[in-house]
Amino acid sequence: MSDDLRSVPTVAAGVRDRLLAVRSLGILEGLDDDAALLLAEYSKLSTFEPEQEVTSANEEPESVYIVLEGRLRVPRPHGAPIIIDSGRGVGVIGVLSNSGRGLRSVAEVETRTLELSKDVFLAAIDESFSIARNLLKVFAEMILDERGELPAETDSVPTEPSIEDRTEPRTLVERVLELSRTGIFEGANSDPLFDMARVMRQICVPPGHVFFGAKDKARTVIRILGGTVQCAAANGQSVDVTSGHMLGGLPALAGRKYGFEARALTEAFAYEINFEDFLVVLETHPELTMKMLRTLSTTLVER
């Protein structure tokens, strides 16, 4: 950090203060000098008194507020409020989800924030994959903390009829056609589709096969093509999933362990995707990253 500060361009005092604030935030890690200076020029420092509203649930967010000092409280109708402390922000989910609404937040104590306009914040994400990757991690953590470790129905994606009786691997073109109708790849051009299809490995496993254990570091994402897989958590809860379900994606994004064991109850077909390969595809095609951010943020708004 000290090296970065020594290379700060000569700017007006007010902009310099904001530039130092930008440089201090882990959520903005990865910005080069020009991008950081751009954020500083188009941001502002704000101070909120205790119990003063910062963002409203009834208005479309036009700015992101990142806490520099103090903390914000996000009330929830069910459950404990969310506390936003130094280095974290509010307005991010509303800006990315395009839902027309955000989350209400108030200052718990006197709080100082860095305010970034919606357009500037989106430009920063487009400029730096590091920022986008950080946000993906935070969103995945929030979803897992809210719903628990086991997969939910929202983890499933549209799929073709069961292919449990198919033993021949799908061709590259077949995988591309399937991807083009799936999740963030729907409507994508051919380049990201082929890049993703090339890193998908089709596997066929017998009953009893363990795809991964609850305490394994999440490094692989599984998409089930056919068969039934039991997902069992350490607390004894379990759920059986079938064709179309994605397993391991959220823990991998969050940098966590899987949190459940995935065991085939029948012969099962699946795509196995190395998570690092998936990240390379996202970094190469920023439009996919933005789609994924919008999908996760929309999930959080609707919970």
Torsion of CA 80, 83, 88, 92, to 10 degrees: 50
* Mean pLDDT value across residues 55-67: 83
Asked whether the predicted pLDDT for residue 244 surpasses 60, the reply is yes
Asked whether the predicted pLDDT for residue 3 surpasses 80, the reply is no
pLDDT at 196: 94
pLDDT in tens, 131-144: 888 889 888 988 88
Q: Hey, what CATH topology would domain 2-127 get?
A: Jelly Rolls (2.60.120)
Of residues 260 and 79, more confidence is placed in 260
Residues 6+ apart with CB under 8 A from 105: 53, 54, 55, 65, 72, 73, 74, 84, 90
Domain 147-302 CATH (choose: 3.40.50.2020, 2.60.120.10, 3.40.50.300, 3.40.50.970):
2.60.120.10
Asked whether the predicted pLDDT for residue 76 surpasses 80, the reply is no
- 192 pLDDT band, cuts 50/70/90, is very high
What are the extents of the domains in the chain? 2-127, 147-302
H or E element: which one contains 121? helix 118-127
Report the mean per-residue pLDDT for the chain. 82
Residues 6+ apart with CB under 8 A from 288: 184, 185, 188, 192, 281, 282
Strand, helix or coil for residue 114: strand
C-alpha angle 11-16-41 in degrees, rounded to nearest 5: 75
Among 131-140, 197-206, 248-257, 263-272, the least confident range: 131-140
User: Are 28 and 124 contacting, i.e. CB atoms less than 8 angstroms apart?
Assistant: yes
Same CATH topology for 2-127 and 147-302: the answer is yes
* Mean pLDDT value across residues 89-117: 82
Q: What is the pTM of this model?
A: 0.79
Of residues 161 and 65, more confidence is placed in 65
Neighbours of 148 (CB within 10 A): 14
